[in-house]
């Protein structure tokens, strides 16, 4: 092929229409260019400030989280239980009640001790134990009347009563059995403290021997039986010269007014006539032979 010649004027004209760009004006080139030092220091300062603020906030919360709120323990001794509990709760403390048996006096139902002394500074929420007197332990006196006094004492002890005494009854009758409980004080069914003094009144089985000396035998025996001496008396004869005592008691044992068991056998001596002495005849004496 034959080369075509391009006119010079046309080439120049074409060159005038072409724009040549500066490489530094390209966006990618600008991104690669380093920032001015002034902008970098501003960013660093901002980041440092942010770190300091965060550190300050962290330190604040750390210090405040380790700081414990405290309170002084109030005095609650001698207060009623409910009042003492509310006082501790109001002070942001945790009450714990320990009930104990104590005397039945003015301290009943009141606080007698607290585990942390008053005015002691403690963290809020601390547990404070209070000791409350709920009075003595109590029990109901069981049925013991009619029992043997020793058995009755055992029954009371089995029911945790610790202060039992036994005394002879002053209202004993001739029909009461020896050692039988006739009454108890305080009475059966009474609810009392376990250390309350309890008295068992029992029958001794004894009575006073009545005076029967001078009575006829039948009357003497009846008198003894009415006094509770139901065993037949031992009868012996007592010779006497006194005709008024014939058939009557001339002597008794035990003596009148002596207090003995009603099972005692009373001895009676009944007067009988003395036997008449038999007359004796005198034997003549032989005279001597001269």
pLDDT, one tens digit per residue, over 186-206 is 999 999 999 999 999 999 999
CA distance 14 to 11: 5
Task: Specify if 116 maps to a domain.
Answer: yes
Asked if pLDDT for residue 2 goes beyond 80, the answer is no
* Residue 285 pLDDT > 50: yes
Same domain assignment for residues 102 and 121: yes
Q: What is the pLDDT of residue 277?
A: 78
pTM for this entry:
0.59
Is residue 125 domain-resident?
Answer: yes
Q: List the beta strands (DSSP E) in 143-277.
A: 164-168, 181-185, 191-193, 198-202, 206-208, 234-240, 249-253, 259-261, 267-273
Query: Does some domain include residue 88?
Result: yes
139 pairs with which residues across the strands? Answer: 192
pLDDT band of residue 46 (cuts 50, 70, 90) is confident
Residues 196 and 236 in one domain: no
- Mean of the per-residue pLDDT values for the chain? 87
Q: Which of 150, 183, 204 is the last residue of a domain?
A: 204
Q: Give the residue-averaged pLDDT of 47-70.
A: 76
- Residue where one domain finishes, among candidates 93, 111, 133: 133
Residue 142 shares a structural domain with residue 192: yes
230 domain-assigned: yes
Q: Give the CATH number of the domain where residue 247 resides.
A: 3.30.10.20
Residue 45 falls within a domain, yes or no? no
Residue 21 is assigned to a structural domain of this protein: no
Range of the domain at 168: 138-204
């Amino acid at each position: 092929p034959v080369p075509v010649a391009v006119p010079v004027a046309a080439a120049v004209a074409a060159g005038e229409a072409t724009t040549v760009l500066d490489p530094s004006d390209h966006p990618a080139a600008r991104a690669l260019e380093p920032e001015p030092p002034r902008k970098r220091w501003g960013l660093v300062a901002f980041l440092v400030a942010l770190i300091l603020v965060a550190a300050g906030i962290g330190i604040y919360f750390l210090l405040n989280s380790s700081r414990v709120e405290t309170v002084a323990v109030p005095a609650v001794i001698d207060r009623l239980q409910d009042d003492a509990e509310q006082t501790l709760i109001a002070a942001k403390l945790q009450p714990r009640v320990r009930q104990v048996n104590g005397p039945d006096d003015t301290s009943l139902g009141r606080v007698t001790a607290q585990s942390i002394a008053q005015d002691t500074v403690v963290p809020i929420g601390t547990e404070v134990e209070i000791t409350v007197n709920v009075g003595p332990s109590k029990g109901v006196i069981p049925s013991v009347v009619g029992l043997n006094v020793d058995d009755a004492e055992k029954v009371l002890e089995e029911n945790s009563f610790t202060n039992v005494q036994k005394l002879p009854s002053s209202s004993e009758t001739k029909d009461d059995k020896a050692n039988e409980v006739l009454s108890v004080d305080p009475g059966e069914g009474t609810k009392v403290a376990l250390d309350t003094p309890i008295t068992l009144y029992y029958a001794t089985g004894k009575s006073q021997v009545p005076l029967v000396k001078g009575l006829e035998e039948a009357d003497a025996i009846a008198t003894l039986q009415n006094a509770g001496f139901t065993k037949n008396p031992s009868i012996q004869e007592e010779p006497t010269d006194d005709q008024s005592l014939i058939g009557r008691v001339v002597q008794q044992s035990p003596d009148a007014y002596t207090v003995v068991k009603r099972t005692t056998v009373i001895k009676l001596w009944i007067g009988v006539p003395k036997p008449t002495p038999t007359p004796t005849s005198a034997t003549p004496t032989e005279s001597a032979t001269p």
